[in-house]
């Protein structure tokens, strides 16, 4: 079943952290959309604001690799620690 991007965006905007993380992954991978790490970071950030540990881990990866943001190892580690604190070791 194909993913309905508009529905995911609506869910994410309404506070669904899992939907926000899914959108981040879609944009990071370029699945059915042009690959856009800045857009991925936006959705991972939103998921993180709602306590999604996977979004926090994914933000850490973006910061560590300079995808959609300048490389920032300290910020990457901060997000990895937060993800671990929320159960994503």
Return the pLDDT at 3.
Answer: 75
CA quadruple 73, 37, 29, 48: dihedral, nearest 10: 70
* Prediction pTM value: 0.92
Q: Please answer whether residues 25 and 13 qualify as being in contact, where contact means their C-beta atoms are separated by less than 8 angstroms.
A: no
List average pLDDT for each run of 10 residues in the chain, which is 89 residues long: 84 96 97 96 96 97 97 97 92
The CATH number of the domain where 71 resides is what? 1.25.40.10
Distance CA 23, CA 43 (A): 6
Distance CA 30, CA 81 (A): 27
Return the pLDDT at 89.
Answer: 80
**Taking every pair of C-alpha atoms in the chain, what is the biggest distance, in angstroms?**
39
Return the pLDDT at 75.
Answer: 97
**Domain count across the chain:** 1
Range of the domain at 22: 5-85
For residue 70, give the 3-state DSSP assignment. Answer: coil
pLDDT 10s digits, 45-58:
999 999 999 999 99
Q: Please answer whether residues 56 and 82 qualify as being in contact, where contact means their C-beta atoms are separated by less than 8 angstroms.
A: yes
Return the pLDDT at 17.
Answer: 96
Distance CA 32, CA 85 (A): 33
């Amino acid at each position: 079943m194909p993913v309905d991007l508009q529905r995911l965006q609506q869910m994410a905007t309404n506070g669904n952290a899992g939907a926000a993380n899914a959108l981040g992954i879609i944009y990071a991978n370029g699945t059915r959309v042009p690959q856009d790490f800045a857009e991925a970071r936006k959705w991972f950030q939103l998921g993180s604001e709602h306590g999604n540990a996977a979004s926090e881990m994914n933000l850490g990866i973006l910061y560590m690799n300079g995808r959609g943001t300048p490389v920032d190892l300290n910020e990457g580690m901060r997000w990895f620690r937060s993800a671990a604190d929320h159960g994503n070791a």
